[in-house]
Structure 1
Amino acid sequence: MRRANSSMLQPIIDFQGRGIDIVTASKKLAAFKEKLVLLIKRVKRWNLVNFPCLEETVTENSTLPPIFVAKNVEQMQRLCTSFDGYFSCGELQACNIWILNPFMQNLEDLDDDVSIKEDLIDMRHNRGIQMEFTNSQLDHFLASQLEAYPALVTKALEVLVPFATAYLCEQGFSCLLHIKTKSRNQLNSIHDMRVALSTKTPRFDAIMEKKQQQ
């Protein structure tokens, strides 16, 4: 099959980038896997709507031989199995669902001995915090509540903070490739990479004032 519908690949495209946590990655991956199962069902019925180039070719010429469809279905089923093998982890446990939305969690699902249950009760009765949650990203909201609810926020960050993808590592290698070329193979690129990879804008004027002109 030559080219799939871009909407099928969008969850994987969005898988990389800053701010992707394990919860977001798990949801995108689950959506892609479910779409892949739907795609397999469509192809079995000779519905090629997700492969517009192939569909156009078949329409203009002739129908596909059954063996072609069977082989492609087999390959997609292998892809599903591969996803299950490589990405079997990352789903939130039932006791941690509150991380996604502390105000929608059914507190009866939490054990009474859980230390954060009192914090969740206090938080859901604070209208101001609810409005802040609605208007903020999850990680920004949690960071803003660290001082008020340290135990609850620490528990949530233990799930959200671990790296979900190799995006930052790959970005570092790409940056090094552009900085340390063959003509600069002796260059110590530590400081250059720090500037290139940082999300902060350096105060170049202040830095240059500390340097002696040659």
Structure 2
Amino acid sequence: MIVDMVRGMALSFSPSLVIFDCDGVLVDTEPVAGRIFAEAVIELGYPATYDECLRTFRGRSMASAVEIIEARLGSSVPAGWADEMWRRTEMAFASGVAPIAGVAEAVSHIHKHGVPFCLASSGEMPFIHRNLRSAGLFDYFDGRMFNAAMVARGKPAPDLFLHAASRMGHAAETCVVIEDSLPGVQAAVAAGMAVIGYAGDPLTDAAALESEGAHVISDMSALRDILVLC
């Protein structure tokens, strides 16, 4: 077992591998990227509010998001629509992005204890590389980055997390995932992995993450207390 709960004590995890999501977990991109995406979806005529779009599409791969949009609209998105989303997002982050508060210290702590970790994101790899470099985290994850383009199905399917665990040489049941989105939590649970839900962003629905099986934290410094690193 990698999860222990003792009456009166905090939940703790003893993972063989820690798998980080990227946007909203390592780099502080979700508020801006989510706004750009939600505005573009609504422009297509998608019948939802801004907040509803954030809840629906946060954490999903572009392919998964487009599938939902087209099913709801009953028509295809315009040619080049996805490329335009990446262009708008790239422009928004051209001046750089910051790491999530406390995550650099948490990653360094895991690294110093010799526990393997990696990244598994729905994002496009060029954006992942650029944002990690901007946030000063690239060297930690160089050679240990996996994204939705590598698997048949993106989050909330378990494929990406299972792929990352397999490539890193670890069994799913010994992994802990750190996620901030509902599809990400659902993907981790479907993969048979323990999951820590990060709800530091006010727009994150902490109750929804918890209801899907995540142990929710609002401060990355909490990882030092709940990850038992041997």
TM class by smaller structure = under 0.3
Name the TM-score, length of structure 1 as normaliser: 0.25
Name the TM-score, length of structure 2 as normaliser: 0.24
Instruction: Return the structure number with greater relative CO, CA threshold 8 A, min gap 6.
Output: 2
Q: Which has the larger radius of gyration?
A: 1
| Structure ranking higher in helix proportion | 1
| Structure ranking higher in strand proportion | 2
